[in-house]
Structure 1
Amino acid sequence: MVNQFPQVLTIAGSDCDGSAGLQADMNTFQRCGVYGMSVLTAAVAGNSYGIFASQPMPTEFIDKQFAVLTEDFQINACKTGMLTDTRTIETVAKNYQKHDLGPLVLDPVIITKHGDMLLEEDAFETLKEKLIPQATVLTPNYYEAVKLTGIQIESTTDALKAAQILQEMGAKNVMVKGKHNDKQQTKVTDLVLLEDKTSFTLSEPFINTTHINGTGDLLSACIAAEIAKKTSIADAIKQAKKFVTAAIADQLDVGHKYGPVNHLVKYSF
């Protein structure tokens, strides 16, 4: 029958070097065994040394992408990535309410894993008001969780408090990702708070490498893919955490500086 195969949508920017953005999402979807499609929000010119230019898409073009995809496909889950600015965020929020896109995995893309701000303050506020309340799963990194909640996260207890605040903002399930930029640390520990108020931590070994571009994309895309396959939220998050760790551990020697994670790593779903 038509549209019975699991279908997942990424709403994200294009990263021309393939390490992150919708390219990383599409690689993840394929590895997870789902059919992936994309709504392009921006295009970025960058490589392993950095980002050198970016171009947001017109909101009318974003609207049209949503319209034509939903006329034809049955999207079972979707995820967001780079949303650029206030107008883009408002456009995505409007279309998510308008169309049947399944559960939303919101990768907020507010601050980099190194602590650099990616959104202007007005866009940040719009994300809080318009998209977080629609999130089935919210996956902020350490710095994003601190920015969103105002809590300095130094312990699992702090992470749980932050997750509870994010639930109060409207997100159903929250994964507060742990820091992973201290060469002295031995583990990366994330805190997960589910809609039913149960919580758990996920710890995997810290891997000291510069090849970590796209970790957040891979994680959120894997969660969305697993949800589309009818995996439970908790198990989808656990699966994604293990896949990310495996993709970092098996380094792919591409790029001269900050390289990508390895989507080709041998891993069984």
Structure 2
Amino acid sequence: MPTHTTTHSAHTVLTPIVLTIAGSDSGGGAGIQADIKAISATGSYACSVITAITAQNTLGVSAIFPIPLEHIEKQLDAVFSDLNIVAVKVGMLADSDTIKLVAAKLKQYQPAFLVVDPVMVATSGDLLLQASAISTLKSELLPLADLITPNLPEAAALTDSPLPTDDLAMRAMVDQLRQLEVKTVLLKGGHLEQEDNSTDLLILADRIEELSAKRTPTQNTHGTGCTLSSAIASYLAQGHDLLHAVQLGKNYISKAIEHADELNIGAGHGPVNHFFQGHANAG
């Protein structure tokens, strides 16, 4: 009778595994679905822990069902106890208790890299997290992160400051963001739609690196923040240093936006084109 001797340790090439901890988007453009697409398209293996189930499409969110804490914990234990997770991306966490649980589990399992996309503000401008939950995010989770990736409304919420409306006001936030207990911040300038370029600021302890890409005129930008943070986590898992991983992530999301109109998804703000490389090859 044949015996199977293949074990995990028998594999000579380690697959870069990235965990996304976030909410599910039934429309497929953002959240867990966007994360899995971005991690896969950039060459890593994606696993997931779902923190909430949303009913949404390209026109908006109609319902949110938070996953019970016990089941979030069981998902985390399941993936960490079996998979060699190198990098973690955290997105939507519904409340303080969920944030505390995820932070405690990350301290327990200590993945090599943590990227936090602080999903706090809806496109409409509505706060998705209560003030107490923002405080918990800042005290419990952000200090664990190697990188956080706020857009301008999220950065304004984190620093309790006005929403920047131009490049100068965006740069004026740097000192306040440096005062957060965070290693590195990628401040995204995508909301400054009057600018020809979309410029992000990578705020390091000793300097600022600018990452700029020509702005693509399209309404199909749903899930850009999820996609970018997941791509960066993917590149970190593959061994790139932080600056290079951010540069690669910025290049990936810029191209995914550039090719977004090749898709025709829904009647509202459609998704970016995560698999633009495959489509280009097919052509």
TM exceeds 0.5? yes
Q: Determine if the alignment matches structure 1 residue 178 to structure 2 residue 189.
A: yes
* Alignment match, 2:61: 51
Are 1:18 and 2:34 an aligned pair? no
Partner of 1:76: helix, strand, or coil? strand
**Aligned pair 1:85/2:95, yes or no?**
yes
CA deviation string 1:134-180 (max 9, x = no partner): 11001000111112123444565654553443343221111000143
Listed as ranges, the matches of 1:145-184 within 5 Å are: 145-152=155-162, 153=164, 158-160=169-171, 162-180=173-191, 182=193, 184=194
Q: Does residue 1:263 correspond to 2:274, yes or no? A: yes
Contact 1:90 1:130 in 2 (8 A): yes
Give the conservation status (yes or no) of the 8 Å contact 1:151–1:158.
no
> Which position in structure 2 is the counterpart of 1:236?
245
Residue of 36, 45, 54 corresponding to 1:35 = 45
Structure 1 residues 163 and 114: alpha-carbon distance in aligned structure 2, compared to 1, 3 A threshold? farther
Match of 1:222 among 231, 236, 239: 231
Q: SS at 1:256's partner residue? A: coil
Counterparts of 1:192 and 1:229 in 2: how far apart (Å)?
Answer: 20
Match of 1:206 in 2: 215
Aligned to 1:237, what secondary structure does the other structure show?
helix
Counterpart-to-counterpart distance in 1, 2:177 and 2:230:
20
Deviation at 1:33, TM superposition (A): 0.8
CA distance in 2, matches of 1:232, 1:27: 22
Residue 145 of structure 2: which of 135, 141, 148 is its match?
135
CA distance in 2, matches of 1:147, 1:194: 20
Alpha carbons 2:17, 2:87 under 8 Å: kept: yes
- Per-residue CA deviation, residues 86-140 of structure 1 (Å, 9 max, x unaligned), is 1111111111111132211000001134533111111111111111111100100
**Quick one: distance in 2 between partners of 1:175 and 1:219?**
11
Alpha carbons 1:164, 1:193 under 8 Å: kept = no
- Mapped to 1, the partners of 2:121 and 2:46 lie a distance apart of 26
Rounded Cα–Cα distance in structure 2 between residues aligned with 1:122 and 1:246: 37
Letter in 2 for 1:254: I
Cα distance in structure 2, aligned partners of 1:144 and 1:223? 19
| Distance in 1 (alpha carbons) for counterparts of 2:138 and 2:34 | 25
Moved more, 104-113 or 36-45: 104-113
Mapping of residues 42-121 of structure 1, within 5 Å: 42-121=52-131
Among all aligned residue pairs of Structure 1 and Structure 2, give the percentage whose two residues are the same amino acid. Answer: 37
Q: TM-score, normalised by structure 1?
A: 0.92
Aligned-partner Cα distance in 1 for 2:174–2:84: 31
The answer as to whether partners of 2:165 and 2:192 remain within 8 angstroms in 1 is no
Which stretches in structure 2 are left out of the alignment for 5+ residues?
Answer: 1-8
Q: Matched residues in 2 for 1:95 and 1:264: separation? A: 32
TM-score (normalizing by structure 2) = 0.88
Secondary structure of the corresponding residue to residue 173 of structure 2: helix
Q: Is the 8 A contact 1:163 1:174 kept in 2?
A: no
